[in-house]
Amino acid sequence: MQPVAGVKLGCAAAGVCYQHRDDLTLIQLHNMATLAAVFTQNGFCAAPVVIARDHVNLAVPRYLLVNAGNANAGTGKQGMNDAIACCQAVSELGGCDENQVLPFSTGVIGEYLPVAKIVQVLPVAFNALSESGWQTAAKSIMTTDTVPKGITRQADINGHTITVTGIAKGVGMICPNMATMLSYVATDAAIPRELLQECLEDAASQSFNRISIDGDTSTNDACVLIATGQSSLAMIDNKQSNEYQQFYTLVLEVVEFLAKALIRDGEGATKLVTVAVEQGVSEDECQKVAYTIAHSPLVKTALFACDPNWGRILAAVGRAGLQDLDVGKVKIFLDDVCIVSDGGRDASYTEARGQQVMDRDEVTVTIHLGRGAVSSRIWTCDLSYDYVRINAEYRT
């Protein structure tokens, strides 16, 4: 990962939940930076989500504080006070208003945040602030993740090199609604906040909002896009301009990579599965079919077993709730192998051809609904023994 001018990251080991590893991340932003954010739509959203959502509208953020191992969710008024106390501690050390600090937490729900432990090591995190801290931060924000997730993409826009670097975490309780578990993306481009917010919402809708590991939306989901304005390129302030389109493509590449990385590292996952639904009447019905397949335990366990049990996919399409579905027009494919047509098994299909596809680490399930011209796709994974083990043992 390449540094982004105007962003520094520092980490420390607070012992919030994990021992002998960094679990606290501080991100410092240039005073000219703009910030966009999207947050979980879960009604029981965590205290840091409530506070961060308020603060981002009150002042220009200067610091982001992230802790791993404790979600500070389901903690009532004390949880709010704890999140604010952490913001106050950062503001005192950083010389800014507490409203300029955004808190983020991830981990176990229902336990109070050990504020004293966090405050005690904040000086360590401040001293560690560096533009080259992305890799350390990617590790520090992990919970049940097995690998850190980060990427840099660069592009030449009108003779100026623009950098976009991002990190993300989250491999369980993943079915985002407005954001991923936690993701931080930064660029040195200059963009007004309103346009940056549009960019993030559009990019999240095509990436983080198209993934599902287990169908659960977290209480703590948050995704942040920072624009420091430290590049030599003039401000991008027109959504219709070529400069914006090139920049948006760059951001989309980063968040799509991160979204897929979450699925690849899904708790116990062994396969990255793309579910593509085509020839629908609307995107809504395409998404409905895609998520019905992605959330089916029977489909997901068949994928884990490398079992081409296509009847489970057919059944999921049928129960997705589409009105007046003509099953005779529906076609279902595993990669390029047609498994269903004319209401039943395709005449060319053989178990051996299906098995060849299911033995792969990456599989695409494609559905042709035969009733329109709209298409959509999402990414998911299989459901393994390890997913059950990891979540059964999560608090032990």
Backbone φ, ψ for residue 306 (5° rounding) = 55, 35
pLDDT at 340: 98
**Once rounded to an integer, what is the mean pLDDT over residues 199-212?**
97
Greatest C-alpha distance within the chain:
71
- Assess contact for 292 and 259: CB atoms under 8 A: no
- The lowest-confidence range among 270-279, 306-315, 321-330, 386-395 is 386-395
- Parallel, antiparallel or unpaired: strands 182-187 and 222-227: parallel
* pLDDT attached to residue 396: 73
Measured in whole angstroms, how far is the alpha carbon of residue 34 from the centre of its chain? Answer: 21
Q: Is the pLDDT of residue 395 over 90?
A: no
Express each pLDDT in 222-237 by its tens digit: 999 999 999 999 999 9
What average pLDDT does range 256-274 have in this prediction? 97
- Write down the pLDDT at residue 178: 86
- Distance from C-alpha of 47 to C-alpha of 74, rounded to nearest angstrom: 8
pLDDT tier at 281, thresholds 50, 70, 90: very high
| Per-residue pLDDT, 71 | 97
The segment(s) of the chain belonging to CATH 3.60.70.12 are 7-264
With a pLDDT cut of 90, the percent of the chain lying above it is 97
* 261-290 average pLDDT score: 97
- Chain-centre distance of CA 133, in angstroms? 20
Distance CA 23, CA 32 (A): 28
Range 128-143 average pLDDT = 98
Q: Rounded mean pLDDT of 114-135?
A: 98
In the predicted model, is pLDDT for residue 356 greater than 80?
A: yes
Band of residue 394 on the pLDDT scale cut at 50, 70, 90: confident
Average pLDDT over residues 125-133: 98
Catalytic residue among 34, 106, 165, 180: 180
State the Cα–Cα distance between residues 81 and 59, nearest whole angstrom. Answer: 19
Average pLDDT, the chain: 97
Tens digit of each residue's pLDDT (9 = 90 or more) over 147-189: 999 999 999 999 999 999 999 999 999 999 888 789 999 999 9
Q: Is the pLDDT of residue 131 over 90?
A: yes
Q: What percent of the chain has pLDDT over 70?
A: 100
**pTM, to two decimals:** 0.96
Residue 375's pLDDT is 98
pLDDT tier at 129, thresholds 50, 70, 90: very high
Superfamily of domain 272-392 in CATH is: ArgJ beta chain, C-terminal domain (3.10.20.340)
180 is catalytic: yes
Q: CA–CA separation, 179 vs 197, rounded Å?
A: 13
- pLDDT score recorded for residue 94: 98
Residue spans in the chain of domains classed CATH 3.10.20.340 = 272-392
Q: Which fold has domain 7-264?
A: L-amino peptidase D-ALA esterase/amidase (3.60.70)
Please report the pLDDT score of residue 342 as a whole number: 97
